[in-house]
Amino acid sequence: MKPFDFIVAHDSAEALAVLARNGAGTRLLAGGTDLLVELKSAARSPAVVVDISRASDLRRIAMTEKGLVIGAAVTHGEILDSPLVRKWAPALADACHSIGAVQTRSLGTLGGNLVTCVPSMDGGPVLVALEAQVTIAGPAARRRMALEEFFVGPRRTALAPDELLLEILIPKKNLGKPADFQKFGLRRGQALALVNVAVSLRVGGPPAAFVEPRIVLGAVAPTVMRAAQAEAFLEGRAISLEAMREAGRIAAAEAQPITDFRASAGYRLDLIATLTRRALENARARAREA
């Protein structure tokens, strides 16, 4: 690890000021669960590390007129403990619970999970299934964009070197939308996903039919991806187990999994079909309970 300057930012304005001065030579530290590993192994260390874990305006979970807002520096553990998240987006709490161990969830942040932008992230699929948006701050202005568009490639986001992820917004229209998260790893806990799947849906009718289905896959493409063809297949279709199975098969055909030391591409395709069907069944069950 090479020497670097360490600065504590007490709000986003302080962090942005440091980014403006140093640009690409600056890295942001929230929970540190990813960055500290990089600092030990990276050939090129940053000139400046800015600690944003105590930035007050990045730590809120709040209901607003636009929807549920979660600050970028909110930890996975805080999401799990939030009555607002458990009531209005329980599938996000399920996804956060699958991340690492208690220690990791106590330090790691939702914003860090998204900005690191690994294809196997657990927070991203549920948020994309709920059509979440992100607010980004730069030196001159703020901008908001769909989370789906925020992901550019493996470990690449739409953030410029002098920009900061401020918060994540789950739109008001999707609060309480029935959703489910499924993950499969090589062990029950502290595992990276071989495949993860999130779905959301509404039920129309009678007769009962799929309305606004969203199917999102992780760990099977360069970024978290929507299974658009599977969604189109379900839209307006009568709800049945066979329709859910077929949607799983279509979703698998849309994916681009790789073969590596953990699993073959073929095995991952089977997982996509199974987990998609399972997530749809669970979301349908949640819709009945609502």
Residue 160 maps to which CATH number? Answer: 3.30.465.10
Q: What's the number of domains the chain is made of?
A: 3
Are 21 and 34 contained in the same domain?
yes
Please give the pLDDT value at position 264: 97
What are 194's strand-pairing partners? none
Give the separation between CA 249 and CA 232, rounded to whole angstroms.
Answer: 13
Residue 40 predicted with pLDDT over 80: no
Q: Which of 174, 205, 222 is the last residue of a domain?
A: 174
Q: What is the DSSP letter of 237?
A: P
Are 132 and 38 contained in the same domain?
no
pLDDT tens-digit series, residues 172-196: 999 999 999 999 998 877 788 999 9
Please give the pLDDT value at position 42: 64
Pairing of strands 164-171, 195-204: unpaired
Instruction: Tell me the mean pLDDT in the region 276-283.
Output: 98
Are 207 and 155 contained in the same domain?
no
The candidate with the shortest Cα–Cα distance to 4, out of 33, 36, 31, 52, is 36
Across 32-36, 105-109, 270-274, the highest mean pLDDT is recorded for 270-274
Residue 210 predicted with pLDDT over 80: yes
Are 141 and 213 contained in the same domain?
no
For residue 63, which phi and psi values (nearest 5 degrees)?
Answer: -90, 125
Residue 44 predicted with pLDDT over 80: no
Are 24 and 65 contained in the same domain?
no
Average pLDDT score, the chain: 94
Instruction: Tell me the mean pLDDT in the region 149-169.
Output: 96
Q: Residue 194, exposed/middle/buried by CB under 10 A (0-12, 13-18, 19+)? A: buried
Are 212 and 247 contained in the same domain?
yes
Where is average pLDDT lowest: 3-7, 126-130, 231-235? Answer: 3-7
Please give the pLDDT value at position 165: 97
Instruction: Report residue 167's pLDDT band, with 50, 70 and 90 as the boundaries.
Output: very high
Percentage of the chain lying above the pLDDT 70 cut: 99
Instruction: Report residue 43's pLDDT band, with 50, 70 and 90 as the boundaries.
Output: low
Domain that residue 107 falls in: 56-174
Are 161 and 192 contained in the same domain?
no
Are 134 and 224 contained in the same domain?
no
